[in-house]
Structure 1
Amino acid sequence: MQGSAQEETSTGHYTIAIQPIVNAQLHHVADELLYRGDFSAGTAAVFDDVQATARACAVAIYEIGLDKLCGQRKLFINASGEWLLNPDLDGLPKEQIVVEVLEDTAVSDALLTALRQLKTQGYTLALDDFELTDANRSLLALADIIKFDISTGLPKALIQRLYQDGYTLLAERVETYEEFEQCKALGFSLFQGYFYQRPQVQTTKTQRHSTSRANQMQLLAQLYSDKVRLPALSTLIARDPYLLNAVFKRANSAGKASQRPAYKLMDCIHIIGLKELRTLVSIVMLAGNNPASKINLTSGLTRAFACEALAEQRGLDEEEGFIAGLFSHMPVILGIDLDAMLQELPLSQTIHQALTLRQGRLGRLLTDIEASEQGSTSSDVPAELMLQAAAEARALMDTHIS
């Protein structure tokens, strides 16, 4: 469990801690990933669950690297409902990650669908600080590991039933050897707590000064385009030292690398693949101050696909249409000012004028699409075009969940 919500200043000094998880023979078999607002923090100060998980994953996977952090051991990560529903965050290394559903996660049909998809992909699912209720009963059918915070008591009847049903039981906050023995006698096979080791804060030398929102937005436009151009992706990644370092580390990690190390960026991109590259970029963006929500991103993609289709009908550059549509919605997606965004964004004059003044043929196209979004009907923008764009956006998001 990460911790309670409270205010935190964004200093960029955040890091992680890991706490060992041991088996009944006291062998160190897994670790839980914990977010820390700074190096001296003894506990988490979480004001945004999604951002905290994004930052923790960025440090663990792309800065330190799982090889160095935990070797071949499993790594438990805390996942809120919003995190689980985010379509760009399912490319984490499934062979090593245990997705830990937080105890306050609201259960919905959408959440259950997302968890089923994660299970289908091969992820291990754990339920954190479990207390059985009518609301969360449906989660049991999807869980592999059930965690109990023993400091709040031991519901022995429930524990016995889950043990008999074949679940792996993990006792959390085990403070003494006597508690360890008591839990082992009840059927627990995994244990975590001060009796073995306190969380260990990890240090990283990676500098985080370089992350450019403009560069990341261009990357998103490329990554979500139907016509992904790897040379353009390579150029954008090379401009951002943080992303560049993350890509090389991930491509050369034990879980990805071939027999020969990858020294070229294009080779690294091929090794990682577009799906995980979307995940990596999204995690880096979410590790900043402006998390992009699924709803806003879907709306932005709908506009982008609509602009792309209308550009084709009107004989305009389709890629410029897609980029204009997506970037016109970026202030909403990322919570930033359009003028500030454009100051560091090297866009063509055509796209710039379309975004700021709605001038030119591309500007008129964008105006027409925005009017259609507000319910205006026009023979120039058929209703079918908008419906098809929305379907494409939803399909793209669903594809990245599956």
Structure 2
Amino acid sequence: MKNECHLPQKANTNEYTIAIQPIVDAQLRHVADELLYRANETNQTANVFDNVQATARACAIAVYEIGLDKLCGTRQLFINASADWLTNPDLTGLPSQQIVIEVLEDTSPTKEVIDALHYIKSQGYKLALDDFILDEHNHAFLPFCDIVKFDISNDLPKKLIKKLHKEGITLLAERVETQEEFKQCKALGFTLFQGYFYERPKTQLTQTARLSTSRANQMQLLSALYSDNVRLSEISTLVARDPYLLSAIFKRANSAEKGSRRPTTKLIDCLHIIGLRELRTLVTIVMLADNSPVSKLNLIKGLTRAFACKMMADQRRLDEQESFIAGLFSLMPTILGISAELMKNEIRLGRFIEDAINQRIGSLGKLLNDVEAAESQFSPLDFPSDVMLQAASKARSLVYTDAS
């Protein structure tokens, strides 16, 4: 189902969200969902200015904010993809075993698009044709498609439907509004169904604060991910500048789909779990979503605390990475403008770090308390006098160097 409505102005807030609409089989079993963009929680239609941005925002929420396991379990998720999305190789790192890519009906079968479909199929994705009306141009898409969607509010080409059914292509009827229409479509050979007869789209309420650093930092990060000599230390440094991206990486690495049993507490380990291919997609999607900028002042405060924790970690025989993450995430609610309760519920950091942040328990909790005391100029005896100054200098350098 193509995004339902286009507006002549560009959305300039971070209030966007998603809706999902069930797709059922002939036995009315809920087997898949279609992902739909919403400019805000009250909109019943998409209100799209930019198809690529809308899809990027919808995918960011579904995969990296809510998580596929919570959103749709093991069901497949259909996403709308314009020609610009299809031909961008940075966007092919989404989980192919669960994502079905819908080729929109206004897509032209150019050589670039056809080559892209060859590649997308080779990566294991299923492809669907949306609102399909056969003509001399789009016939070229059929060899790539596993599913063809027909809008039954239009006249149905019954000969074509029978032909596709005989060829083993799965047929999906959309805009099915009554039980009678459901029965008629089933008799024609349709095996998947979508429409108000079963359920209207459900808007998903989200509370994530979408604040990112500059596009320059994101482009630098993407460049580092495509380097001939990828250095995870450099990638970690760039990720640390972007709180939304950092939160998304921890959520994704610790998701059920990634097979996480115990929370991964180190950023380097999270990057390994996600892998370069999906990291490229994640960063590109966040860039395309074009979120509002984070407060540099709040980010510097968080990074100063994180660097101070890291600098004291070795002296106290603590892990440097875990100390850095504990320091940064202890101020993440301030950086992102969210409640501490929401962060606690949304992001798994492991009991050791979570107890340190939330209850100041253990050696890491004591370190956080001591760094907070040093921030107020009441440094513990074992703190070198220049720790906070050095940490603040590192934080400002990280935020302002090549990231404006």
Q: Same fold (TM over 0.5)?
A: yes
Q: Does 1:49 align with 2:51?
A: yes
SS at the partner of 1:247? helix
Deviation at 1:255, TM superposition (A): 2.3
Match of 1:388 in 2: none
SS at the partner of 2:264? coil
Counterpart residue type for residue 33 of structure 1 = L
Match of 1:170 in 2: 172
Q: Deviations over 1:116-153 (max 9, x none)?
A: 11111110000000000000001001100000000012
* Contact kept in structure 1, 2:174 and 2:193, CA below 8 Å: yes
* Contact kept in structure 2, 1:257 and 1:271, CA below 8 Å: no
Match of 2:279 among 277, 301, 307: 277
Normalised TM-score (structure 2) = 0.71
> Unpaired segments of 5 or more residues in structure 1?
291-342, 353-402
Q: 1:212 to 1:347 in 2, by over 3 A?
A: closer
Match of 2:247 among 245, 248, 264: 245
Root-mean-square deviation (CA), in Å? 2.0
Quick one: distance in 1 between partners of 2:259 and 2:250? 10
Counterpart residue type for residue 4 of structure 2 = G
Alignment of 1:2-401 (within 5 A): 2-6=3-7, 7-288=9-290, 345-347=400-402
Q: 1:211 to 1:191 in 2, by over 3 A?
A: farther
Matched residue pairs, number? Answer: 298
Deviation at 1:232, TM superposition (A): 1.6
Deviation at 1:35, TM superposition (A): 0.4
Deviation at 1:213, TM superposition (A): 2.4
Deviation at 1:164, TM superposition (A): 0.8
Quick one: distance in 1 between partners of 2:66 and 2:33? 15
SS at the partner of 2:92? coil
Quick one: distance in 2 between partners of 1:284 and 1:180? 39
Normalised TM-score (structure 1) = 0.71
SS at the partner of 1:88? helix
Paired-residue identity, %: 65
Q: Deviations over 1:68-96 (max 9, x none)?
A: 00000000000000100012000000000
Structure 1 residue runs of 4 or more that deviate by more than 2 Å after TM superposition: 209-215, 257-261
SS at the partner of 2:102? strand
* Contact kept in structure 1, 2:216 and 2:402, CA below 8 Å: no
Deviation at 1:345, TM superposition (A): 4.3
Quick one: distance in 1 between partners of 2:154 and 2:264? 49
Quick one: distance in 2 between partners of 1:4 and 1:80? 15
* Contact kept in structure 1, 2:5 and 2:45, CA below 8 Å: no
